[in-house]
């Protein structure tokens, strides 16, 4: 799977450059956004959009969402090279969400460097993150695949539906980590993930299905595959934060105990609150609610998670979601080789170590 990622990462980046070049000039602005009413300032747009966005992209990221889309086009029997701008859509969207998330969470690091709002300012970061929600719509408008109006409308309406639901998930997540009491149920947590993370995953799958004229049932099944895999990825990400904290953060690119410092109500925390003694629940809530934490407090919180078996519980849930994702995928008639690679992605998202 790593070989597939390494082969396609530069292709995806080159494709994103066709949507947002590294160097902005007046010709690009006029061709992509339309002729100015008066005059664009390419230098300002360079500093406010291209520079921060490409700094984030150049720091890394596996581009797995775009590559899953590529593999779905291939699995549907199409030449993925003809759909690259469309495959890049969920990757652009994802990177926009993490810029905004870092502002909302008050994060200090992202992919081994300062969060963009700390390096460029909150105003530039928010504008750049929000722009990445809208840039993909220009791909639909420019219509590089030459699709008919009905197909384009279907793709547009799908994007609007899923993007709206991402904000429901983000809203739940923000609300929860702004409360001291952990009152979240497991089902509510899964719904938050299905919206916040899973909806971008659903775009990964639904867009290839729509553009290649798959049946409604096929679209439903591949969307279910991608949603469950994305939720498994989110749980795996939370587990990694704990494991790398135990290893003094390692190469994970985040600060020590990032999720605990942010007061995140992860699946591990929810399980621990349901199973720990009352005094440990109160202590865990106190640590998560604190404005700042010492390393000793972060380790104390992790010890509570370990004591209730919450890390193993979360890992089992992620593995179950990955298995269910493979079952949905197996119900679709796909080309064998890319289908096997798509199934392997469900294992990769929970077995990865970075």
Residue 241 confidence (pLDDT) above 70: yes
Residue 256 confidence (pLDDT) above 70: no
Q: What is the sign, positive or negative, of the torsion defined by CA atoms of 305, 306, 310, 312?
A: positive
**In whole angstroms, what is the distance from residue 262 CA to residue 139 CA?**
35
Would you state the pLDDT for residue 248?
A: 62
**pLDDT band for position 255 (50/70/90)?**
low
Residue 55 CB contacts under 8 Å (≥ 6 apart), including other chains = 113, 116, 119
Predicted confidence (pLDDT) per residue in 96-129, tens digit: 999 999 999 888 889 889 999 999 999 999 999 9
Predicted confidence (pLDDT) per residue in 138-150, tens digit: 999 999 999 999 9
CATH of the domain at 10: 1.10.600.10
Return the percentage of the chain with pLDDT > 90, whole number: 83
The neighbour count for residue 29, using CB atoms within 10 Å, is 17
Would you state the pLDDT for residue 191?
A: 96
Return the DSSP state at 112.
T
Predicted confidence (pLDDT) per residue in 53-94, tens digit: 999 999 988 899 999 999 999 999 999 999 999 999 999 999
Which residue range(s) make up the domain with 73?
Answer: 2-351
Would you state the pLDDT for residue 131?
A: 96
Q: The tokens of 82 are what?
A: 């003809």
- The tally of domains found in the chain comes to 1
The three-state secondary structure class of 158 is helix
Name which of 130, 19, 10, 162 is nearest 85 in CA terms. 19
Instruction: Outline where the chain has alpha helix (H).
Output: 2-19, 26-33, 42-45, 51-58, 64-75, 84-105, 116-120, 122-142, 149-177, 186-196, 198-211, 216-246, 258-262, 267-275, 278-289, 295-307, 310-330, 336-351
**In whole angstroms, what is the distance from residue 262 CA to residue 291 CA?**
9
Predicted confidence (pLDDT) per residue in 157-182, tens digit: 999 999 999 999 999 999 998 899 99
The reported pTM is 0.92
């Amino acid at each position: 799977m790593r070989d597939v990622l390494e082969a396609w990462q530069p292709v995806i980046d080159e494709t994103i450059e066709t949507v947002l070049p590294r160097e902005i000039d007046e010709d690009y602005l006029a061709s992509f956004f339309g002729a100015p009413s008066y005059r664009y300032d390419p230098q300002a747009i360079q500093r406010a959009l291209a520079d921060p966005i490409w700094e984030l992209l150049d720091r890394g990221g596996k581009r797995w969402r775009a590559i899953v889309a590529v593999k779905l086009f291939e699995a549907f029997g199409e030449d993925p090279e003809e759909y690259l701008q469309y495959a890049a859509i969920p990757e652009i969207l994802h990177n926009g969400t993490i810029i905004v998330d870092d502002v909302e969470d008050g994060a200090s690091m992202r992919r081994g460097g300062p969060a963009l709002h700390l390096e460029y300012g909150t105003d530039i970061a928010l504008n750049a993150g929000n722009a990445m929600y809208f840039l993909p719509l220009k791909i639909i408008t420019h219509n590089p695949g030459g699709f008919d109006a009905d197909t384009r409308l279907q793709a547009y309406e799908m994007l609007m539906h899923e993007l709206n639901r991402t904000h429901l998930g983000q809203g739940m997540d923000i609300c929860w980590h702004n409360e001291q009491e952990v009152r979240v149920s497991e089902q509510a947590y899964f719904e938050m993930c299905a919206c916040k993370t899973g909806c971008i995953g659903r775009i990964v799958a639904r867009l290839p299905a729509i553009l290649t004229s798959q049946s409604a049932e096929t679209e439903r099944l591949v969307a279910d595959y991608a949603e469950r895999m994305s939720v498994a990825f989110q749980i795996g990400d939370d587990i990694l934060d704990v494991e790398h904290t135990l290893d003094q953060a390692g190469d994970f690119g985040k600060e020590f105990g990032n999720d605990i410092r942010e007061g995140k109500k992860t699946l591990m925390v929810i399980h621990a609150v349901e199973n720990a003694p009352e005094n440990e629940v109160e202590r865990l809530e106190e640590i998560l609610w604190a404005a700042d934490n010492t390393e000793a407090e972060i380790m104390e919180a992790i010890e509570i998670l370990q004591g209730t078996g919450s890390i193993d519980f979360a890992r089992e849930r992620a593995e179950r979601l990955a298995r269910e994702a493979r079952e949905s995928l197996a119900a679709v008639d796909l080309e064998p080789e890319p289908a096997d690679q798509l199934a392997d992605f469900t294992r990769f998202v929970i077995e990865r170590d970075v």
